């Protein structure tokens, strides 16, 4: 790869970008079928399907300047909320368009945006798939003055289309793992072409900053983690009172943001815990709420599910809490929390330990935490690591009934959440004003 290719300006990146444009242009018939399939499985909605093809849900674009923010799913959406709040405060004449790539991410936005002052100026949509015609339809309708993408939402046609329309691009909480960088392989010049298009880059960690530079980013403007700095998750106090009433003082532990491949071990740990603590209750919160029935099937017998309005009886060992946007409610119980997407058998990568730490919960995790390596490093010995059902059961039994008051997020030499969000919002607003 030549120096120009590494900088994103060489022929290699241009050739690969053109090749992807050609391939993606042939995909619409297959993507339409896939969207219909996802709709039947609850992974798309009747609103999201046309929007994924770049078709807006409204007849016209609002007048005036418009800032576009895009987040992939739940974690990225939560991380964006403080930035949106700051933008609403410092850019009173701007409309903010927020897009997500998943139904769960959209649900978080629908639940949280009304709590922001000025939320009437926020429009929520689903992002278009990376088909040239669909991306063009989206951009030509909304005509954003600036576009900000979160973490690793790097789509060649989307970025190229913004660039050709002279729409400034910002990368927020930029993330690039060692594995991802290696996977780009011979296509590294395409990655460089995309990264070089960003006028402002925020890296999630110093390690990510280094890898983004190796990948072709021409600049790193800020190193900070919006997810790690996020405030405690909100919850409804009346709903918490209702849960306390139904639990009636039972010992509880929580398996949060679980993924396929690790719930079998969690169910086995629940069984082991009850050998020692017969009335113990395991609360399983799947990262994707639509998997509630799948987990119930895995258990082999009926389990109460919050999505069905059910509460556990004295005889139930497990409660599946398969609702959207209520994780903060269960962290507020102060029970021990096992962070999901981290145990052997699942895809791995972990989830943000700062969220239960803000609630004062004792925390455990599996070994696969690569997506939040710096956050876990900062937590240090405040996180206990487990691998097997036996490990989990021993940890739960040792900590059940103890609120982890010493487990709050440690003080570190980094900006507070408002400072980070304010810096990011100011940079985006400045780009919109160019």
Quote the mean pLDDT of the chain.
Answer: 92
Q: Kindly state the average pLDDT of the residues 154-171.
A: 97
pLDDT attached to residue 7:
57
Q: Is the pLDDT at 161 greater than 50, yes or no?
A: yes
The larger pLDDT score, comparing residue 371 to residue 332, is at 332
pLDDT attached to residue 404:
52
pLDDT attached to residue 8:
56
Q: Is the pLDDT at 16 greater than 90, yes or no?
A: yes
pLDDT attached to residue 5:
53
- For the stretch 395-424, pLDDT in tens is 999 998 765 544 444 433 344 456 899 999
Q: Kindly state the average pLDDT of the residues 9-33.
A: 93
The dihedral through the CA atoms of 54, 58, 62, 67 has a sign that is: negative
pLDDT attached to residue 199:
97
- For the stretch 36-60, pLDDT in tens is 999 998 899 999 999 999 999 999 9
- For the stretch 275-304, pLDDT in tens is 999 999 999 999 999 999 999 999 999 999
Statement: 237-401 belongs to CATH 3.40.50.720: no
Percent of the chain surpassing pLDDT 70: 94
How is residue 399 written in tokens? 């900590």
- For the stretch 300-314, pLDDT in tens is 999 999 999 999 999
Q: Kindly state the average pLDDT of the residues 345-371.
A: 93
Beta strand pairing call for 281-286 and 169-174:
unpaired
Alpha-carbon separation of residue 24 from 27, 72, 196, 298 (angstroms): 5, 20, 22, 37
CA–CA dist 378, 10 (Å, integer): 40
8 A C-beta contact, residue 72 and residue 153: yes
- For the stretch 58-69, pLDDT in tens is 999 999 999 999
Active site residue 44: no
Looking at domain 3-231+419-433, its CATH class is alpha beta
Neighbours of 178 (CB within 10 A): 10
Q: Kindly state the average pLDDT of the residues 314-328.
A: 95
Q: Is the pLDDT at 2 greater than 80, yes or no?
A: no
CA–CA dist 118, 55 (Å, integer): 25
The listed range with the strongest mean pLDDT (12-16, 369-373, 387-391) is 387-391
Q: Is the pLDDT at 343 greater than 60, yes or no?
A: yes
DSSP result, 11-34:
HHHHHHHHHHHHHHHT-HHHHHHH
Q: Kindly state the average pLDDT of the residues 368-393.
A: 92
Sequence spans of domains, the chain: 3-231+419-433, 237-401
**3-231+419-433 shares its CATH topology with 237-401:** yes
Predicted structure pTM score? 0.82
CA–CA dist 339, 350 (Å, integer): 7
Summarize the chain as % helix, strand, coil (round to 5): 50, 15, 40
Q: Is the pLDDT at 1 greater than 70, yes or no?
A: no
Catalytic residue among 76, 151, 153, 326: 76
């Amino acid at each position: 790869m030549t120096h120009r290719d590494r900088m994103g300006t060489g022929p290699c990146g241009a050739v690969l970008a053109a090749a992807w444009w050609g391939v993606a242009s042939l995909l619409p018939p297959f993507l339409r079928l896939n969207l219909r399939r996802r709709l039947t499985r609850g992974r798309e909605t009747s609103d999201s399907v046309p929007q994924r093809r770049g078709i807006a849900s409204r007849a016209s674009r609002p007048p005036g300047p418009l800032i576009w923010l895009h987040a992939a799913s739940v974690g990225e959406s939560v991380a964006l909320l403080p930035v949106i709040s700051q933008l609403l405060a410092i850019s009173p004449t701007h409309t903010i368009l927020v897009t997500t790539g998943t139904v769960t991410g959209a649900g978080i936005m629908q639940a949280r945006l009304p709590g922001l002052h000025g939320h009437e100026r926020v429009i929520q949509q689903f992002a278009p798939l990376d088909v040239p015609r669909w991306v063009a339809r989206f951009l030509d309708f909304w005509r954003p003055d600036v576009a900000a993408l979160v973490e690793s939402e790097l789509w060649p046609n989307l970025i190229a289309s913004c660039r050709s329309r002279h729409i400034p691009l910002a990368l927020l909480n930029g993330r690039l793992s060692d594995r991802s960088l290696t996977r780009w392989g011979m296509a590294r010049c395409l990655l460089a072409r995309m990264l070089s298009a960003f006028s402002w880059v925020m890296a999630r960690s110093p390690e990510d900053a280094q890898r983004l530079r190796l990948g072709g980013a021409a600049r790193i403007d800020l190193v900070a983690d919006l997810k790690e700095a996020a405030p405690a998750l909100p919850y409804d106090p009346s709903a918490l009172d209702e849960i306390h009433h139904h639990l009636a003082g039972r010992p509880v532990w929580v398996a949060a943001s679980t993924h396929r491949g690790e719930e079998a071990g969690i169910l086995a740990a629940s069984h082991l815990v009850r050998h020692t603590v017969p009335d113990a209750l395991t609360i399983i919160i799947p990262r994707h709420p639509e998997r509630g029935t799948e987990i119930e099937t895995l258990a082999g017998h009926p389990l109460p599910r919050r999505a069905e309005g059910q509460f556990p009886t004295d005889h139930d060992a497990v409660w599946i809490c398969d609702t959207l946007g209520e994780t903060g409610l269960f962290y507020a119980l102060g029970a021990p929390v096992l962070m999901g997407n981290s145990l052997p058998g699942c895809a791995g990568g972990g989830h943000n330990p700062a969220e239960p730490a803000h609630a004062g919960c004792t925390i455990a995790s599996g070994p696969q935490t690569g997506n939040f390596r710096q956050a876990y490093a900062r937590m240090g010995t405040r996180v206990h690591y487990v691998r097997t059902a036996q490990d989990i059961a021993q940890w739960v039994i040792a900590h059940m009934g103890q609120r982890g008051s010493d487990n709050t997020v440690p003080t570190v030499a980094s900006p507070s959440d408002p400072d980070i969000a304010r810096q990011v919002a100011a940079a985006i607003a400045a780009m919109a004003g160019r």
